Chain A
Amino acid sequence: MILSGSDIIVECLLEEGADTVFGYPGGAVLNIYDSLYKYSDKIRHIITSHEQGACHAADGFARATGKTGVVIATSGPGATNLTTGLATAYMDSIPLVAITGNVACSLLGLDSFQEVDITGVTMPITKHNFIVKDINELASTLHLAFKIAGSGRKGPVLVDIPKDITAAKIDYTPLGKSVPEKPAEVSEADLNEAARLINESERPYIYAGGGVISANAEEELARLAELCDAPVSCSLMGQGAFNQRDRKYIGMLGMHGTVKAAAALNSCDLFIGIGTRFSDRVIGDPSVFGKNAKIIHIDIDPAEFNKNVEVYTTIAGDVKIALAELCKKVSQKKNAWTDEIIAKDFGEPVQRGTEALPVTPEAVIEKLDELTDGNAVIATEVGQNQMWAAQYYRYKNPRSFISSGGLGTMGFGLGASLGAKVGCPEKTVVNIAGDGSFAMNLNELITAYAHNIPIIQLVINNNVLGMVRQWQRLFYNKHFSQTTLDNRHIDYVKLGEAFGIETFVIEKNEDIEPVLKKALEISKNKPCMIEVKIDRDINVLPMIPAGKPVINPITEIDLEA
């Protein structure tokens, strides 16, 4: 079958099962878009407002579905607009394939119009990247890109394709779907050592990260927690890896984790870190972290072992397989300490509003949790909104918390929520944003309306960049430099109206339930938006200052001080 390079691209996408792609057309990808036109009954293309939004959407699609997300952008600025999205996916190990057009091979290296060396630019923020200069290598390269993205520790792969390659024609024979590389065998000796430590411990504590979700290992994790009779904590990326309605769940660990999770860390004798990279936002001071315990580290990437914290023993390999094997070697335990930790009241902070602005994010998110029974997919932006979404929604399912953990990308959530909703149309999808992050990429409301992607956009509006303000209050003598947004006078109802998005306002506690119910009803058919007006000095608590030991978190900030 004689096909053009651009037809081959679409054929390869279909062979890989990618029937939904996100992107934005342009000069260097005209051929690809011509093929997408031809194949429009087989492949759905969603045009966003900006390539960054498309990349976040492909990322959200991947996080919510577990499939590899696909984004297409043109050369030059189209390609550079993907970079924040690629770096976001790279830091959180999300499988993506980004296809960029480039100028024709004969124009490469000549500073041609809309030419940029995107493989050079994205080398540090992709798992691997390619430029295809020979049409005979196009199909194999695309399949290889999917294979690399979805194997081992997953990540984004970029394939740059010059325009003449998409135009050229060759006789095409399908190569078929790529098969992910088989993970290396888990070492029996390492399993035995870990099992021995678990069986001998009296106070084991399980800490699960995003790797559990990536490996689809939630059942194995639940089984291990049951066998160990251990309290379970999840990292930000691990939200949903363990059912938070289970009595053993004791909250997030780290900078904004619960007091209980921090107390358990310091009194456990065995700390089992699973599918986690011990981020600085979790460990605080690495010289103190987990020093009273032995640490077992289970992860697919051996480069994470002893990188940020020194650990006692390790298990390298696919987390799902490692946990399943480990469970066979662990005998049923019963730990008095676990009951103590679960039962004890550690005095977790409670949010309070003011007389003028009584509504708290806690009240809104907890009500949302109740009304959706913990089954919604929650995307977030970055900052206070993100932490509140992690703290107050009780996730039951993996792939239900979609957030930029590693890179901390403000402007991520709306695009990501669109991708998540496209991938999981049967689920309620809510993007929890702050007014700062929302303003960064609110252009994607256009996409929500245009493609009728019925998400709920929740804007928690405090008219400040709250997380930075919180740090300025604590560490910069209350110099609220550039974080007070009072000069912005955004009417969210009108803003929504302009984009065709029905918008509601919550400003009293009595509004919370009826507005959320109405939004949940509307979102069965079309997108809508909610503005929640809150006081600017509701802080994210508990808090461990950066680089400090995860001991006795701050639970109250004196606003008068």
Chain B
Amino acid sequence: MERNYLGEFEELVLLTVAVLHDNAYGVAITEEIEKQTGRTVSLSAVHAALNRLEEKGMLSSRLGDATAERGGRRKRLFTVLSLGSYSLQSIRETRNRLWDSISPDVLPAFSL
């Protein structure tokens, strides 16, 4: 666990990269997170997280196409590597285990 520790925001970013599949780059990831969570996310925070994840070996990147609205600059596209996938999986399993161990009626009820 220690080795693969992921922060909450990192986890979100990593998941979003997976969600976006072939089109995971800075702006797309940022907007997807904003859409999914409803919070405002700064581009630099996403870039910082992507950078960190790549350094940890959870993501790989390659340069993609340029578009006019980017002023002719290429995007960097990210793909989840197996270490990233493993980390996400283990977090999910831990969570599931914990959920399963909560006896019913303990959590107060609320309606969405």
Q: Do A and B come from the same complex?
A: no
Q: Which residues of A contact B (CB under 8 A)?
A: none
